Amino acid sequence: MNIVKKYTETRAHTLAICKPLTIEDHVVQVVPFASPAKWHLAHTTWFFETFILKPYLSDYKEFHKDFNFLFNSYYNNAGDRVFRANRGNMTRPGVEEIYKYRTHVDQAVTKLISNDLDENLKELIILGIHHEQQHQELLLTDIKYMLGHNPLFPVYDAERKAYIPKNQGSTDFHSFKEGVYEIGFQGEAFCYDNELGVHKVYLHDFEISNTLVTNGEFLEFIEAGGYTDFNLWLDEGWSWVQGHDINSPLYWHKIKGEWHHFTLAGLKKVNPKEPVKHISFYEAAAFAEWKGMRLPTEFEWEVAADELNWGQRWEWTNSAYLPYPNFNKAEGAIGEYNGKFMINQMVLRGASVATAENHSRKSYRNFFHPDARWQFTGIRLVK
């Protein structure tokens, strides 16, 4: 890997995501879980400054003494930070200064990595690149959430097309025999610590769908009263539906008797052939119950992955996000990256249309709380 080239390309792609935005778009925080674009631009830069430049570049001059406090996300070992829900209150520093911050750090990082790197520093740079790629996906989905709650439904990218799989409409199930299978990342390339600890699991016979659930199939669930039948829902999910008046996937709107949904290309009629997206775990589990099937475990998904067409939706699994056997947490702030979130969250597998190129693999473990819908999440069934 040409690490300078990879770093430069990654940083440039983040800027490209923000190019269609106005200055005002950079600052808005609609809800606590969706951070402003300006914050993503700064936080990903802070990561390189804090974990790479300050420890490894002896003549590095910090851009601003307050930025560690403003743009730290959740790393307690790195110092105090702004409360997450207040990220949108930071009208200062301005957007222009954040772009200057990125340039300042990029120049310093390029200077550092143009020389020979020791293995530890190289691993940190690669981690920083992957961290920024994760934030590129969050950035895009946060932008969609912001624009999707604007009453004008502004267009972000008029050229963006809906994803329609080639094999859609021909649902088959791949069969797998009971047995012991190996799970976890194997190889020399990059992976996150939560993928490590190759171990064996025992699986019973199962059959997994070769296709994702479509909008058309989910419309049948809606029209059959799926959102009003408590028998289909987990208790916590039913409380969520009732408490938030949920009756359709996120971004869906019924206009003059027809379902529309907000997309990055603007408000469009719902295409029944497109895989459903922006679904919570609660909705996925209720749909599976309605169909008389279930969601796969993350282990079943990984075993079947080579037979599946995946990568357009993060696919909910029926597995809680927990450490693998022999999971080891790194020392200090880097150890906070994954391990401390292994509670009250569900695993998703695959990738989505918003995932950075080459930033997915079959062992990748994404994780969100079961009510999360703002990512490009979808459903695959098992029987």
Residues 179 and 132 grouped into a single domain: no
Question: Residue 106: its pLDDT value, please?
Answer: 98
Residues 200 and 84 grouped into a single domain: no
104 pLDDT higher than 80: yes
142 pLDDT higher than 90: yes
- Taking only Cα atoms into account, the Rg of the chain, rounded to an integer number of angstroms, comes to 22
Q: What is the pLDDT of residues 51-60, one digit of tens each?
A: 999 999 999 9
Instruction: Name residue, tokens 């770093």.
Output: 7
Q: What is the pLDDT of residues 228-261, one digit of tens each?
A: 999 999 999 999 999 999 999 999 999 999 999 9
Sign, CA dihedral 344-73-46-328, equals: negative
Question: Residue 338: its pLDDT value, please?
Answer: 82
> Residue 365 carries which DSSP code?
-
Cα–Cα distance for residue pair 332/80, rounded to 1 Å: 15
Helix extents (H) in the chain: 3-18, 37-48, 54-56, 67-71, 95-113, 119-148, 215-223, 235-244, 281-290, 298-304
Average pLDDT of span 175-188:
96
Arithmetic mean of pLDDT over the chain = 95
Choosing from 92, 115, 148, the residue where a domain stops is: 148
Residues 17 and 96 grouped into a single domain: yes
Please indicate whether residue 158 or residue 162 has the higher confidence score (pLDDT): 158
Q: What is the pLDDT of residues 21-44, one digit of tens each?
A: 999 999 999 999 999 999 999 999
Residues 140 and 234 grouped into a single domain: no
Question: Residue 357: its pLDDT value, please?
Answer: 87
Closest CA to 149 of 59, 234, 30: 30
203 pLDDT higher than 90: yes
Number of domains making up the chain? 2
Q: Is residue 162 part of a domain?
A: no
Residues 53 and 125 grouped into a single domain: yes
Residues 227 and 89 grouped into a single domain: no
Q: Is residue 368 part of a domain?
A: yes
Question: Residue 169: its pLDDT value, please?
Answer: 59
Residues 249 and 373 grouped into a single domain: yes
Q: What is the pLDDT of residues 286-334, one digit of tens each?
A: 999 999 999 999 999 999 999 999 999 999 999 999 999 989 887 786 7
Lowest mean pLDDT segment, chosen from 74-78, 200-204, 207-211, 286-290 = 74-78
Cα–Cα distance for residue pair 247/218, rounded to 1 Å: 12
Average pLDDT of span 105-123:
92
Cα–Cα distance for residue pair 94/99, rounded to 1 Å: 9
Q: Which residues 6+ apart lie within 8 Å of 215 measured at CB?
A: 270, 271, 272, 273, 274, 275, 276
Q: Which residues 6+ apart lie within 8 Å of 123 measured at CB?
A: none
Q: Are strands 314-320 and 377-378 parallel, antiparallel or unpaired?
A: parallel
Sign, CA dihedral 74-76-77-81, equals: positive
Cα–Cα distance for residue pair 110/125, rounded to 1 Å: 11
Question: Residue 165: its pLDDT value, please?
Answer: 80
Which range, 117-121, 184-188, 366-370, is most confident? 366-370
Q: What is the pLDDT of residues 263-283, one digit of tens each?
A: 999 999 999 999 999 999 999
Residues 130 and 207 grouped into a single domain: no
Average pLDDT of span 166-173:
74
Residues 328 and 249 grouped into a single domain: yes
Phi, psi of 78 (to 5 degrees): -95, 0
Percentage of the chain lying above the pLDDT 70 cut = 98
Cα–Cα distance for residue pair 92/271, rounded to 1 Å: 42
Provide DSSP, 44-113. Answer: HHHHHIIIIIHHH-TT---S-TTHHHHH--S-GGG-----GGGGGG---S-HHHHHHHHHHHHHHHHHHH
What residues form DSSP beta bridges with 266? Answer: 263
Question: Residue 337: its pLDDT value, please?
Answer: 78
Q: Is residue 383 part of a domain?
A: no
> Residue 294 carries which DSSP code?
B
Residues 87 and 197 grouped into a single domain: no
74 pLDDT higher than 90: no
Q: Are strands 314-320 and 252-255 parallel, antiparallel or unpaired?
A: unpaired
167 pLDDT higher than 70: no
Q: Which residues 6+ apart lie within 8 Å of 78 measured at CB?
A: 50, 68, 72, 333
164 pLDDT higher than 90: no
Q: Is residue 142 part of a domain?
A: yes
Q: Is residue 33 part of a domain?
A: yes
Residues 8 and 64 grouped into a single domain: yes
Structural domain that includes position 371? 173-378
Q: Is residue 160 part of a domain?
A: no
| CATH code of the domain in which 191 resides | 3.90.1580.10
Q: Under a CB-based contact definition with an 8 Å cutoff, are residues 63 and 104 in contact?
A: yes
Cα–Cα distance for residue pair 218/104, rounded to 1 Å: 48
Residues 144 and 274 grouped into a single domain: no
Q: Is residue 153 part of a domain?
A: no
Q: Is residue 326 part of a domain?
A: yes
181 pLDDT higher than 90: yes
